[in-house]
Structure 1
């Protein structure tokens, strides 16, 4: 896991759809100026809000920004994903690309073209595809690393045992294994065994952290700020978070934020990075990314962590 300096990842899911290109450019500029490095996107972002019904908008905006900012490619690291992009507009999940070898190769080829780059720094398998032999998917990802069009590969929304099996298959094939995990995680937690409303989301579990720590895998978290629910009364937490533990955690969060003269969002991000987890932060305004980057200066000690653990 990441045990170096706290790292905030810029989530770009809404770029080109809910976030206009000019606003996205300003956010990207400010992120890099503030010392940010990693950009997280996907070839399917965001087909559900794009009038065309397919993804690619986010990658196109990042590509346009890179062309408009000579030399910026050397200052950022780009992570993208394959798996969910609809092959037929407005037809998902029926036409969603899978993780067959041709699908992975075609997906990355499209991403590189939209981004205008010759490689991406990290390629995620966006979700499992159990209709395809795992060995085939592992080989396809490994082949891309061998070719140099991908530097690292990771698994998003995968069960820990599937990641472990994939890493074993990679060793057998002599190809690059998954070295990163991406899962949903935040300070508040839903009721145990309660289905999430968001299709395809997989929560970070103890076995994921065990695997990451034992194998030295990087862990990224998404939906870390719960779509603004920590700070916005007009965005209440989903019903699955309505339980006594949530109220107790939020009370401690308010206390710690006041003690540290930080925002609640910043404390949540600091809580994640303190555990070696790199949170992905999606924003729509410059001031939001500035707030997130400032969370790197918020230091939680063991006593803070113990108070949060006791509240949960």
Structure 2
């Protein structure tokens, strides 16, 4: 395993890949999820990502499932002290706001932030999370209210580091500026969808914002901000026969990039998934990819990318395709 600091050189040490637990307890059963978590830990993985709404869209689910399962694993393995826990507030269904999600998401008011951390700590069975994301942005609430509420969680010791997900870059910058102006802890991590293929232009906005050039430029200029990428392998669309590309990536511009990706994978005796992960982790702006897997075999494939080093000429071909 390789490691890096989260949110700047003085931040907590995290594994260079993060294990995503979105389907754990819903579409991935507990024995399988425990086996994946065990394998990740045995390989030296320390950084694990969940949320207080995963996976509320699955029929019969409430959003508790992933955090509850992860809490059971942490207790059964005595792993809390060696696991860097990330969870999120902002998208959990709130019945008082209606019956349909995501329209009824809890949002980022001070009250929602306080209730969110209390619920997450209870489900995880811990008294602290290492990284707490505000996800997604909430323009119905004054930015200063959210910034101050999140900072309070750091100040009282319930949260280690703050992160933003689903925030546009200008909004992320404004939140960081507001925190700095008040001498408060601010966002030190940002999570966005990020993969090798680029989405078509003109897509409608939503929760799943891409790591676009504006964000990449901003993150590169601010070494105290870590970029965490999810959706890196597009649910298996790079490699699984019969799995079409998501509509956002199914456009003529993807053809050349997929061709070069396959060529580089053949040269490296690696899978295309491993090349995508190596491309993300090894760039001038290193990205921490969230591995979303449903089996130990898929996890092992992703972990093997840690030791894949792309030659400069290969990276240049991938970048310019």
Q: TM-score range by the shorter chain?
A: over 0.9
- Equivalent residues in 2 for 1:159-174 (5 A)? 159-174=168-183
Q: Gaps spanning 5+ residues in structure 1: where? A: none
CA distance in 2 between counterparts of 1:29 and 1:133 reads 41
Q: Deviations over 1:160-208 (max 9, x none)?
A: 1111111111112221010111111110112122337xx5110111121
Q: Is the counterpart of residue 309 in structure 1 residue 308 in structure 2? A: no
Which of the residues 294, 314, 317 maps onto 1:284?
294
Q: Deviations over 1:256-295 (max 9, x none)?
A: 1111111110000000001200111111101111111110
Q: Is the counterpart of residue 78 in structure 1 residue 88 in structure 2? A: no
Q: Deviations over 1:217-265 (max 9, x none)?
A: 1000110001100001221102332223211111111111111111110
Which of the residues 236, 241, 256 maps onto 1:228?
236
1:6–1:246 distance in 2 versus 1, CA, 3 Å: farther
1:187–1:214 distance in 2 versus 1, CA, 3 Å: same
CA distance in 1 between counterparts of 2:71 and 2:14 reads 28
Match of 1:210 in 2: 217
Match of 1:300 in 2: 310
CA contact (8 A) 1:2 1:278 kept: no
Match of 1:186 in 2: 195
- Decide which moves more: 262-271 or 172-181: 172-181
Match of 1:258 in 2: 266
CA contact (8 A) 2:154 2:185 kept: yes
CA contact (8 A) 1:17 1:50 kept: no
Q: How many residues align?
A: 307
**Structure 2 SS opposite 1:202:** coil
Q: Deviations over 1:94-116 (max 9, x none)?
A: 32101000100100100000000
Q: Deviations over 1:72-120 (max 9, x none)?
A: 1122101000011101285313321010001001001000000001100
CA distance in 1 between counterparts of 2:103 and 2:163 reads 24
Match of 1:248 in 2: 256
Greater relative CO, 1 or 2 (CA 8 Å, sep 6+): 1
**Structure 1 SS opposite 2:53:** coil
Which of the residues 139, 156, 160 maps onto 1:130?
139
* TM-score, normalised by the number of residues in structure 2: 0.92
CA contact (8 A) 1:188 1:249 kept: yes
- Equivalent residues in 2 for 1:105-144 (5 A)? 105-144=114-153
1:288–1:2 distance in 2 versus 1, CA, 3 Å: farther
1:23–1:77 distance in 2 versus 1, CA, 3 Å: same
Q: CA deviation at 1:5?
A: 9.5
Q: Gaps spanning 5+ residues in structure 2: where? A: 1-6
1:90–1:14 distance in 2 versus 1, CA, 3 Å: farther
CA distance in 2 between counterparts of 1:293 and 1:210 reads 27
Which of the residues 2, 5, 9 maps onto 2:18?
9
Q: CA RMSD in A?
A: 1.7
